Structure 1
């Protein structure tokens, strides 16, 4: 079958194409224009281009069965109703909003223009009495929380049966603040390779299984992608069979599974060697984000003349606060991770570079940090 091109920036067009994709009549290409590899197997619904925050772009092949299984399991977990699309339809989280709406036989509410507190409130007012749901990334939730003194924003946020938050880790302080305002937050974990979030608040959706092998989280179940278009080697490395013949997705994430609950601790490969000490940047970032004023900070690796590598904090904020924030962050990291892991420098910017998905653009952020003069040059001292 031949892929049909869909413009992910046009949610109306993608939404109109979803029925044909789920029926297998017109599989979609999202995020790329098909070339000679545009032929796909029967049963394919969508091929979606994704590169995450870093890495080489991949074309993830999702079957109609996987998309349906994800949407149906979500409805069983959180309920069914009408959805607000506040994300790009060109990414799996946005696509799944349209799939859930189609299967629930409801029309999605489309947010008009750029995501702002005002546009969120306006879109929410379009709902009737039916249960309402939406899916956001942490940066969007932070935007709403910053405007939560406005009663209209607070009321709109609290009116949803569930607000799915995925794409990256949600800082605990942000989660607690949202819940304190009455928002029903559901943290999701997953990727394009799992047809979107497949673990909700640490618990896998019905039919999804999680395990840890050599420290890496692996996921299995009916929501798994078929593989990567035109890349059988990557497919074979990423989707593996166990001794019983069951197929598992290697997430690349480190973590634990205890009594069925999944806890992600970071990326397996997000480690630097600073002064001969292995340091997990994910652990450093979690500690840094616990510092007031750095809840949305990103920690990246930088070259260091003395230590080989070190970490840098990049966050949105006024430059005059850099010294105090770096000092507080270094103290926190020393306590929670260890003195050698203390960040070397901090860069405060007006706005963090973001990908179209709303995730931090870590490559652009790392480039900013690498060109910034060091604030302190003794991370291991």
Structure 2
């Protein structure tokens, strides 16, 4: 008998036999349209298409690093839950291990002598996190996506949206139209799709800018991440391969602007000063970049035939390094809801999507409260506030069970 390509399972909302996602007509029909790329959007697209769905991905492949660049300026601390998702997608196994750095210890210093020490050994986990460049993970996702026959890359901007009928209808800037049972908004903090469904946004500007840069360090970092709270600002040094470190300095915007104007050797000297020489002499290998910091929540994560994930659904302070992990947990939850749906429900069924929203609310709320609360506490000026902060850190440091709970929460 001649070979016949198997159709997707009915529970995924399969369409009629003979359908071709790369049809040339002005209207293309898919099961899911993912708007936005990055780690979260591409992970969502890959997970859904690996599940047998026909997916349109409105995103661009990852751009190469600038000529001469050693590291990507943007790095992430990937938790155990993020690693598990990428392993499930068979992406983690394809990442060059030489571009990853484990975190076995984390040392957090208050604005006095107080210190917190978190240890993977004491918490009985392999590592606290993996430090990875954004582009390294994204290129691995791109490679996996290019091998998916049910995925179509769409190189056009979405400019109109209508979900009043039986499908989500997305008009593109090139005149073409996409129809899908479900549209996934992974298009960032200023999400276009979120605006189309009228989800209300509450945003509070921290009046801070995250300054990021990478350095070669004189002293071995020992797979240890460091964090300092200094006068309402937060400085983190994260381990990278070959004894490099990545800086994330959450600075008041005026101060951040001054830092971004420094020459590389001047910035390195300033980082050496505020980190009390822990890494030794630093040599800047990636020019500094800045991005504004804000807290952002939305009143709903879903609408008929729409689900929001990642920064489109929430934005938190980077002090705990959990933003991308929260977004990847959105992806895992959405995929689980889709794969476990009843056969009679369509992907965009509001009853189905409410399961996703209910499942994500508590995780999002806890991280919003934790990160925003810490940022507020360490921004309060004055001697009394400083004493209270550092007393609290000392108390947490003396409670092994509390520290293990914090590590477990961070691992997802």
TM-score in terms of structure 2 length: 0.27
Q: Answer with 1 or 2: which has the greater Rg.
A: 2
Q: Which has the higher helix share?
A: 2
Which structure carries more relative contact order (alpha carbon 8 Å, separation 6+)?
2
TM-score in terms of structure 1 length: 0.28
